[in-house]
Amino acid sequence: MQMRERTKELLTLLARAGGYVTAEELATQLGVSSKTVYRWIERINDAHTEPLIVTSRGKGVKLLSENAAAPVKPAEPNGHSEFSPLQRQNKVLLSLLFKAPYYVQRETLFAPYYVSDSVIQSDLTVIGNLLAADTLRLIRDHTQVAVSGKEENIRRAINHTLERLNLFSVTSISEFSAGAAGMDKFDQAFIVGEINRVERTIDGDIPYPYNINLFSHMYTLIMRARNGHWDAEDYQMTPVDVQTARDNAVLYELAKVIIGDFDRYLVTQLPLTEELNIFQYLLSIQLGGDASQLLPMAPEVSAFTKYVTAAVARQIDLELDAASLTDLERHIQPMLNRLRNDITVKNVWLAEIRRQYGDLFNVIAAALNAAAEHFHLHAISADEAGFVTLYFARCLEEQDRPQRVVIMCTSGQGTSELLRVKVNKYFPDLVVPAVISTTQYTAANMATWRPDVVLSTVRVQPIDHVPVLLVSALFGDLDRANLHHLLAEHVEASDEN
């Protein structure tokens, strides 16, 4: 990892800490020595007109948020570049892709990097190879270069380049913006405004990594529209497009509104394909809560999910309960849409997921790819497999979770309180997520508390097959024996499943 990224990591840690943190703690988190941390701090402060980080004896180090806006000192034109060759090549490539199909002067393209002619020649060869991998061509003569190829391949190549520049290895939009070349504060404010519009429509936040994906797509659209050119294909919606738009009318209307905003912002008329592109990105977001109602579940999603869970169950002793299965389907649906539309997501937690759940990750990745083959889909990336692994990991942890008992009486304040004390005394390992009144005994609350047993001093009907044990406020020997028996039965039933 390059020095610039490491120092960025250090700044992120300091920003998160919000106050003083010791160099030793930072060193542990960054996997370097304290001495290195101090060296990086010096380097960061040197690079700014005002020090960004202050060091205090006995307290540690702290980010001075008031100096965060301090301008970076202009780089010395001494021929020394802060970029590695790979970063330089990708940054140049990105500029070229944004400007495609227009020619760019080689001199202008490489001016920020202070490199020799031979380095330029060798960089252009590398860039040509990278473009070829995305079915694009680098056209070059003695003084200028350009990219030629289909717009969909250019967009794909832009995504791959952003990925190589580690721009997807961030968890916040502000981090992405900081590294996005050519974007000014107006562009950033415009895109954030559009993302807010989406969030208002879905009535919730767009979770990571979908927020980064949508932001990067909008960023690419602005850069392409402003710097480059592409022929608007005379695209007609296919019957599948029409049906998908009809099935997801709210999101399709939203896509139309967003493209209308882009047209006004860029003073242009974007083609229908852009409307459909935005629509596909919106479909690729995993919507939670009520917003999930905006996306009806396609039958193939259930089939794919079942295939994966069955393949996993053949390898490990793990079967998802109904709620987890629904959660997984809600993740799989946009994932399948991403696969179909070549939308890639980066998973910043992938290394950690592999470290913590290595075996499980391998099983999930294999199951996903077997399913992809079975359903004639593209191969599924490790990043995607990482996200799916988290669903199964959660279930594994749930299997080991302590048993849960909700305690109830008519008011939730009387005998149930007394019962809670007695349950804690006689069953110290049980978790009591809630002490409730009969009016709070609803399916929605039960789904939240997920009890194994409801212990009640009043007679009620079971909800969602969760057994209700009627006990007296005495919670005597017989009540305790009954609870013990019921919990043991529940464990056996879970094991059989």
Positions in the binding site for other proteins (CB under 8 A) = 409-411, 413-415, 417-418, 420-422, 425, 437, 439, 456-459, 470, 472-474, 476
Task: Specify the DSSP class assigned to residue 21.
Answer: B
Q: What are the phi and psi torsion angles at 228 (to 5°)?
A: -115, -155
Q: Which is nearer to other proteins, 358 or 414 (CB)?
A: 414
Q: How far is the CB of 313 from other proteins (least distance, A)?
A: 42
Q: How far is the CB of 490 from other proteins (least distance, A)?
A: 23
Locate 289 and state its tokens: 């809560």
Q: Which is nearer to other proteins, 263 or 417 (CB)?
A: 417
Pairing of strands 53-56, 60-63: antiparallel
The span from the CA of 450 to the CA of 457, in Å, is 19
Locate 124 and state its tokens: 């252009």
Q: Which is nearer to other proteins, 12 or 440 (CB)?
A: 440
Dihedral of alpha carbons 140, 143, 146, 148, sign? negative
Dihedral of alpha carbons 239, 240, 245, 246, sign? positive
Q: What are the phi and psi torsion angles at 390 (to 5°)?
A: -60, -35
SS3 270: coil
The span from the CA of 494 to the CA of 319, in Å, is 10
Q: Which is nearer to other proteins, 36 or 410 (CB)?
A: 410
Q: How far is the CB of 406 from other proteins (least distance, A)?
A: 16
Locate 235 and state its tokens: 């695209």
CA 126 to chain centre: 31
Q: How far is the CB of 403 from other proteins (least distance, A)?
A: 21
Q: Return all residues near 433 (Cβ < 8 A) that are at least 6 apart.
A: 404, 406, 449, 450, 451
Angle, in degrees to the nearest 10, between helices 249-266 and 185-202: 160
Q: What are the phi and psi torsion angles at 290 (to 5°)?
A: -65, -30
DSSP 191-209: HHHHHHHHHHHHTSPPPTT
CA angle 228, 233, 235 (to 5 degrees): 140
Angle, in degrees to the nearest 10, between helices 3-17 and 23-30: 130
Q: Which is nearer to other proteins, 43 or 480 (CB)?
A: 480
Pairing of strands 435-436, 405-408: parallel
The span from the CA of 362 to the CA of 354, in Å, is 8
The span from the CA of 23 to the CA of 329, in Å, is 44
Q: How far is the CB of 466 from other proteins (least distance, A)?
A: 18
Dihedral of alpha carbons 113, 119, 124, 126, sign? negative
The span from the CA of 158 to the CA of 160, in Å, is 5
Q: How far is the CB of 438 from other proteins (least distance, A)?
A: 8
Q: How far is the CB of 465 from other proteins (least distance, A)?
A: 22
Q: Which is nearer to other proteins, 14 or 434 (CB)?
A: 434
Q: Which is nearer to other proteins, 145 or 468 (CB)?
A: 468
Q: Which is nearer to other proteins, 156 or 422 (CB)?
A: 422
Q: How far is the CB of 432 from other proteins (least distance, A)?
A: 13
Q: How far is the CB of 436 from other proteins (least distance, A)?
A: 12
Identify whether the C-beta of residue 52 lies closer than 8 Å to the C-beta of residue 15.
Answer: no
Q: Which is nearer to other proteins, 46 or 477 (CB)?
A: 477
Q: Which is nearer to other proteins, 303 or 460 (CB)?
A: 460
What are 85's strand-pairing partners? none
CA 329 to chain centre: 16
Q: Which is nearer to other proteins, 235 or 426 (CB)?
A: 426
Q: How far is the CB of 421 from other proteins (least distance, A)?
A: 4
Q: How far is the CB of 445 from other proteins (least distance, A)?
A: 16
Q: How far is the CB of 440 from other proteins (least distance, A)?
A: 11
Q: Which is nearer to other proteins, 331 or 420 (CB)?
A: 420
Q: How far is the CB of 410 from other proteins (least distance, A)?
A: 6
Q: Which is nearer to other proteins, 94 or 435 (CB)?
A: 435
Identify whether the C-beta of residue 296 lies closer than 8 Å to the C-beta of residue 245.
Answer: no
